[in-house]
Amino acid sequence: MKNFLRSFIFIVFACGWVSLWAKPKMNVLFIPVDDLNHWVGYTGRNPQAKTPNIDRLSRMGVSFSNAHCSAPACEPTRASLFSGLRPSTSGCYLNGHLWKKYVKEGICLNAHFKDSGYYVMGTGKTYHASGTSKAAIYENEWDEYPRLPKSSTGGASKYQGYFEPLPLKMKDEDLGDWHSVNYCIEQLGKKRDKPFFLACGLIKPHLPWAVPQKYYDMFPRDTIKLPPHLEDDFSDIPKFAHGVGNSGDHPKFLTSGRWKDAIQSYLATVAFVDVCIGRLLDALEKSPHKDNTVIVLWGDHGWHLGEKQRWRKFTLWEEATRAPLIWYAPGVTKADTVCSRPVDFLSIYPTLCELAGIDIPSHVEGRSIVSLLKDPQAKWDGVAITTNGYMNHSIRNENWRYTRYRDGSEELYDHLKDPYEWKNLADREGFESVKKRLAAHLPKKNAPKTPTKKPSKNKKPKKEG
């Protein structure tokens, strides 16, 4: 009888282990959104924004209200997020640095998932460079990466909707993103014998801000409000910073009177990409993978629209560093929660590994935030670090931003009192200990400054992104 009981217990335990072992791995729906700043519902940063589908995803899981890119430009932020390496470690600091020179094949997030038994698919803009360009990815790191059947812009020139009015008549189907989503919808509908990693790289709201008229109609021009800004904001910032991210766009908007038009265009373009995101969520909801798929959505960096007299990205201020980060992980995240802990996008690689139950490669510098997915109020001593070119870093914790440029000049902002970073406290008395505490997080390694690729005689280097 005893032997029988022992055998019975053994069989029960063995079955338990087998079923645990056989538990299907989580799939991943990975949604990078190009140039999507923090004008989305859950941050409340701009109440004019209409993002019902991003809000819907936000209600499904945990949204991070203090999430920051590791670099405020497409190429380095994506190289960093995918490789797991800080810009100051890899040396890929800026657009034009050609990320493949700094990130070797085989170490990136998608490659690691492929090596770990996932079926890895992507489309649109994941890494820097258009999804229509073969230079954008390492082909062997993906199982499938179809090219867009349409251009990302629908034929609009770069500054339509920005400096220039919008003469185009356009349909949703004219834009590349629409077709990226079509491909992903098709993939989500398939039954599979392997777990999948599916990246839907959305290219809007990157310029041009040209989308169908119906999206502009959602934001009548006479209702548009300018973002909060201060006329003499630059009176207390270091000289070095006066040249940072200065595209020269702001004087053009002031003289043309098109500031509000540009705000309208950005809001409209975000509304378009929000519909694309809604189509993905609908498809997953109807799919056989609904209860076993992690969703992570991230904007690759922020975007100034006149705040601090800046447009675009390329700065270490809040508008350029902060971007949406939303996680939905069935059985892990709590619905409709917001986490204000400071995190940067280097957290995405290790977090996905932990959720998928695969190892975190030793070169990965970020920390998993699964503890925050489970409990957004959990203790957290991490900070967000953003790097904008060689030796220019900004550290963000829950209440403060501390920035140090390569000439040693500094900025310090108290985010509890000054969310628009108007009052630089770095040179005032009484803040030495705060600065010291934050400065302790500055990267110890700073890969040498590398010149950007020399422009050929006929071709200008690509700066946007």
| Contact positions vs Ca ion (CB under 5 A) | 34-35, 74, 233, 236, 300, 422
**What minimum distance in Å lies between the beta carbon of 419 and Ca ion?**
13
Closer residue to Ca ion (CB): 61 or 76: 76
**What minimum distance in Å lies between the beta carbon of 380 and Ca ion?**
27
| Terminal Cα-to-Cα distance of the chain (whole angstroms) | 72
**What minimum distance in Å lies between the beta carbon of 426 and Ca ion?**
11
> For residues 201 and 32, is the Cβ–Cβ distance under 8 A?
yes
- State phi, psi for 412 to the nearest 5 degrees: -145, 125
Closer residue to Ca ion (CB): 323 or 372: 323
What letter does residue 399 receive in the DSSP assignment? S
> For residues 211 and 268, is the Cβ–Cβ distance under 8 A?
yes
Which value, in Å, is the radius of gyration of the alpha carbons in the chain?
A: 23
C-alpha triplet 394, 87, 229: angle, nearest 5°:
35
Closer residue to Ca ion (CB): 78 or 396: 78
Closer residue to Ca ion (CB): 435 or 441: 435
Out of 74, 92, 108, 184, which one is annotated catalytic?
74
**What minimum distance in Å lies between the beta carbon of 299 and Ca ion?**
8
**What minimum distance in Å lies between the beta carbon of 220 and Ca ion?**
28
Closer residue to Ca ion (CB): 33 or 271: 33
Which uninterrupted H or E stretch holds 410?
strand 410-414
The residues, ordered by sequence, that sit 6+ positions from 431 with a Cβ below 8 Å of its Cβ are 412, 425
Residue 393 known to be catalytic: no
Residue 74 known to be catalytic: yes
**What minimum distance in Å lies between the beta carbon of 457 and Ca ion?**
28
d(CA 426, CA 237): 9
> For residues 309 and 336, is the Cβ–Cβ distance under 8 A?
no
Task: Count other Cβ atoms within 10 Å, centred on residue 152.
Answer: 23
Amino acid (1-letter code) at residue 403: T
Q: Which residue is nearest to Ca ion (CB)?
A: 74
**What minimum distance in Å lies between the beta carbon of 192 and Ca ion?**
31
Number of residues in the chain: 465
d(CA 342, CA 396): 7
Out of 128, 179, 206, 304, which one is annotated catalytic?
128
The residues, ordered by sequence, that sit 6+ positions from 289 with a Cβ below 8 Å of its Cβ are 27, 188, 192, 196
The residues, ordered by sequence, that sit 6+ positions from 377 with a Cβ below 8 Å of its Cβ are 339
Closer residue to Ca ion (CB): 234 or 338: 234
> For residues 138 and 111, is the Cβ–Cβ distance under 8 A?
yes
Burial string for 180-208 (b: 16+ CB within 10 Å, else e) reads: bbbbbbebbeeeeeebbbbbbbbbbbbbb
Closer residue to Ca ion (CB): 164 or 236: 236
The residues, ordered by sequence, that sit 6+ positions from 27 with a Cβ below 8 Å of its Cβ are 195, 196, 197, 198, 289, 292, 293, 294
Helix (H, G, I), strand (E, B) or coil at 305: strand
Closer residue to Ca ion (CB): 72 or 195: 72
Task: Count other Cβ atoms within 10 Å, centred on residue 125.
Answer: 31
Q: For 465, what's the count of Cα atoms within 13 Å in the CB-facing half-sphere?
A: 27
Q: Cite the DSSP H helix spans in 121-192.
A: 176-188
Closer residue to Ca ion (CB): 287 or 394: 394
**What minimum distance in Å lies between the beta carbon of 277 and Ca ion?**
16
**What minimum distance in Å lies between the beta carbon of 361 and Ca ion?**
25
Known catalytic residues? 74, 128
